[in-house]
Amino acid sequence: MPEDLSTALAEVRGLLLDPGLTRAVAAGRRRGATPSVVRAELRPVALKAGRRLQIVTNDGARPHTRNVAPGREADEAVDALLAEPFGNWHVESAGTTVQLRVTKKGDAQVHRQAAATTPQTHDHDRVRQHLLDPGDPLWEVIGGTAAKRRQVDAFLRALAATLPTDGLPQPLRVVDLGCGNAYLTFAAYRYLTAVRGLEVEMTGVDVREDQRDRNTRLAAHLGYAGPLRFAAGTILDAAVDPAPHLVLALHACDTATDEALHRAVGWGAEWILAAPCCHHDIAAQLRRQPAPGPYQLITGQGILRERFADVLTDSLRAALLRERGYRVDVTEFIDSAHTPRNLLLRARRTGQTGPSHEYEELVTAWQVRPRLAELLADRG
């Protein structure tokens, strides 16, 4: 039901100035009007001088941060932002989350949700906390189905579990290889900057120029242009300079995952998170030759061969990364009912190289040559 805009904005004002505010974002624009900034984000911060309301505005080129004192200064700053013709307000506070969208007619469409309660102890009714709120205005801009948002959030959860809580390099340089529509790229950028409070420089790489152009437009619209950029090119050859600390690859097709791992090793990336997609390369090699010993029982059946090839491919990838000085674990980042492509290779550079004889024995026994091994041998 549409509501009166000024009444709804008064409600938002109350939440923004309330000590229970968690964070708020204003973005988008109303029909026929353009705000003076592309986006504004507000959150309480505890400074030496005391509690302040932090306001980060972005004019499309760079962010501008100021911390205003409670009272008149905060009142005036909030009133000035509420006077801007933003199309959306998303406000989270201790008790409630309010999502306000201005309709084409200039009314307010308001969605109110009570804040999630403390997670229950029973598994079946556990409240799942999202790393990035499904109601975050970012999603309205970048789109994506509910399933994709869930997948991306699960990936972010794995990222959160991988990165140390402090001592990260700043700016943290991140690359997302085979980024496609860049749902993960945008969500990771937002998570790292808005939730973790990091300075981030991020590049999304995809071979498709149309994706680069679309994603670049969306980044500008969100006020991320500059620190978040998109490049069109192959994972193998895309120029990413300086080298990133963190490499992401979500469902880069087939051997594109090998290319991503190869680039990550070449850059000496500190952290790699790669969720592989289809695995045709090793499966095709297994099909062409007899299996060792009794294993024809596995590779003689198409579906078993494919599943086995998945396991073999990712085991070999992990072994190659270990040889190159990474500690690697292979986990499921989301349940298999969501996607069968739910494995995640998670690597942290330690500089301690793992053994190579087991890898050699495995490829010799199966007479396979993984694409990642070729890339590492041919291109360093």
Q: In the chain, how many H helices and how many E strands?
A: 12, 15
Query: Applying CB under 6 A, does 372 fall inside the site for ligand SAM?
Result: no
Among 206, 281, 310, 314, binds ligand SAM (CB under 6 A): 206
Contact window for ligand SAM (CB under 6 A) among 70-78, 84-92, 204-212, 329-337? 204-212
Omega before residue 171 within 30° of 0, cis: yes
- Nearer residue to ligand SAM within complex by CB, 253 or 311: 253
Q: Please, are residues 15 and 21 in contact by the beta-carbon 8 Å criterion?
A: yes
The verdict on 178 binding ligand SAM (CB under 6 A) reads yes
Reading the block at residue 317, the tokens are: 């990838």
Please, which residue, 207 or 298, has the CB nearer to ligand SAM? Answer: 207
Angle formed at CA 138 by CA 132 and CA 140, multiple of 5 degrees: 120
Tell me the residue ranges of DSSP E strands in 115-223: 172-177, 200-206
Of 259, 281, 310, 323, the residue at the interface with ligand SAM (CB under 6 A) is 259
Decide whether 187 or 309 has the Cβ nearer to ligand SAM.
187
Query: In the 8-state DSSP scheme, what is residue 82?
Result: H
**Which residue, chain included where needed, has tokens 């970048």?**
142
- The torsion angles phi and psi of 277, rounded to 5 degrees, stand at -110, -135
- Cα angle: 241, vertex 242, 246; to 5 degrees: 105
H-helix or E-strand spanning residue 358:
helix 357-366
- Residue 234 makes contact with ligand SAM by CB under 6 A: yes
- Which segment (8-16, 101-109, 110-118, 175-183) binds ligand SAM by CB under 6 A? 175-183
Closer CB to ligand SAM, residue 92 or residue 206? Answer: 206
Residue number with CB closer to ligand SAM (68 or 231): 231
Q: Does 244 bind ligand SAM (CB under 6 A)?
A: no
Interface with ligand SAM, residue 277, by CB under 6 A: yes
How many residues bind to ligand SAM according to rule CB under 6 A? 20
Q: Does 212 bind ligand SAM (CB under 6 A)?
A: no
DSSP element (H, E) containing 6: helix 5-16
Among 33, 115, 253, 297, binds ligand SAM (CB under 6 A): 253
Instruction: Report d(CA 131, CA 204) in Å as an integer.
Output: 21
CA angle in degrees (0–180, nearest 5) for 51-53-56: 140
Interface segment toward ligand SAM; rule CB under 6 A; list 115-123, 194-202, 203-211, 356-364: 203-211
Pairing of strands 50-58, 63-68: antiparallel
CA 150, distance to chain mean position in Å, is 11
Instruction: Decide: is 156 part of the binding site for ligand SAM (CB under 6 A).
Output: no
186 is a site residue for ligand SAM (CB under 6 A): no
Q: Residue 208, interface with ligand SAM (CB under 6 A)?
A: yes
Cα(284)–Cα(289) distance, rounded to whole angstroms? 9
Write out the two tokens for 7.
């009444």
The minimum distance between CB 373 and ligand SAM, in angstroms, equals 17
47-to-44, 51, 53, 72, 98 alpha-carbon distances in Å: 10, 6, 10, 18, 27
Is 251 one of the binding residues for ligand SAM (CB under 6 A)? yes
Tell me if 184 contacts ligand SAM by CB under 6 A: yes
Near ligand SAM by CB under 6 A: residue from 28, 63, 137, 180? 180
Closest-approach residue to ligand SAM (CB): 180
Cβ 332 to ligand SAM shortest distance, Å: 16
* Comparison of 17 and 158: residue with beta carbon closer to ligand SAM: 158
> What is the identity of the amino acid at 345?
L
**Could you give the CA distance from residue 349 to residue 33 in angstroms, rounded to a whole number?**
49
Distance linking the first and last C-alpha atoms of the chain:
61
Binding ligand SAM (rule: CB under 6 A), the pick from 89, 183, 189, 230 is 183
Interface stretch with ligand SAM, choices 63-71, 84-92, 249-257, 356-364 (CB under 6 A): 249-257
Give the residues lining the site for ligand SAM (CB under 6 A): 178-181, 183-184, 205-208, 211, 234-235, 250-253, 256, 259, 277
